[in-house]
Amino acid sequence: MGSKRTLVTGCYGQLGRAVRALVETRGEAESFDFCDIDTFDMGDPDAYGQLDWDAYGTVINCGAYTAVDAAETPEGRVACWRANATGPSLLARTCAAHGATLVHISSDYVFDGTRELHTEDEPLSPLGVYGQSKAAGDLAVMGCPAHYILRSSWVIGDGKNFVKTMWSLSDRVASGELSQVTVVDDQEGRLTFTDQMAAAIFHLLDCGAPFGLYDMTGSGAVRSWADIARATFEAANGNGDKVVPVTTAQYYASAKGPVAPRPEHSALDLSKLEATGFSPRDWEDELAEYLESLRVELRA
């Protein structure tokens, strides 16, 4: 990545933590700077003067607003656009001005989910505020000549995530606190584990892959959220039969606040990334390993 330093934003999020862990494994921490919104708010134009941008050859943007339902509220809409569109736009402009490479993370929510498999050249068609803000951020980042955009779906990493939530619910069913849990089965995709996303980022940077947009998720079969929940319940307490599949409409029928529209199909075509020499792991293999790590962590 050259002799200049690398800046990582959003360092306390799921992906930011994975990037930092990989940097430390690679023995490169001394050439990296890590920041979060508390120390550098990328959506604030005035914040850019506090950094020496000529020192950076690469910026890895791991920061994002991901509360998709809250984004549908008046307050959430403002925060979402600031983090996902304004911030990346300012970063792209700054990186372009200083000749830096910008790495940015996209989302399956930039599509309406009508196609069963999404490619990098599919026209953007976001359904809700979150997806619209991510699409705007993608377009802004494309204005930086040296950019990599990695589009992901269903992210799992260190911190609060779907699998940990399902494990907790399985425990509550096992204890008798709950009799069953409903999970949607009409949204389909693949999990993206953050360690693999971090590895893909460094692969593209290290091999000098052509700049542009790359789909990046785990490989393997396409499953529903209910399928993932069942696997988690089975690993936690052997009670996968307590996961009751429902439609998205049924699940949110009694919601008291705004509900963001979700894409029905979130699977991404990985062939472009694979052509660079990176082969994403099968997400179900990673899930099995992750569930075993949770067993060790939570049953200790």
Domain chopping of the chain, boundaries: 5-159+191-219+267-281
pLDDT band at 170 (very low <50, low <70, confident <90, very high): very high
Confidence check: pLDDT of 299 > 80: no
pLDDT band at 2 (very low <50, low <70, confident <90, very high): low
Catalytic residues: 130
Helices 14-25 and 194-207 sit at what angle, rounded to 10 degrees? 60
Confidence check: pLDDT of 1 > 90: no
For 5-159+191-219+267-281, CATH gives: 3.40.50.720
Specify which residues 9 forms β-bridges with: 61
* Mean of pLDDT over the chain: 97
pLDDT band at 54 (very low <50, low <70, confident <90, very high): very high
Q: What pLDDT digit, counting tens, does each position of 68-110 carry? A: 999 999 999 999 999 999 999 999 999 999 999 999 999 999 9
Torsion sign, CA atoms 178, 182, 183, 185: positive
Shortest CA distance to 233 belongs to which of 173, 155, 192, 179? 173
Q: What pLDDT digit, counting tens, does each position of 200-225 carry? A: 999 999 999 999 999 999 999 999 99
pLDDT at 40: 95
- Mean pLDDT computed over 259-279: 98
Confidence check: pLDDT of 130 > 70: yes
- pTM (two decimals): 0.95
Q: Where are the beta strands (DSSP E) in the chain?
A: 5-9, 32-34, 56-61, 101-107, 147-152, 155-156, 181-184, 188-189, 192-193, 212-215, 223-224, 243-246
Specify which residues 2 forms β-bridges with: none
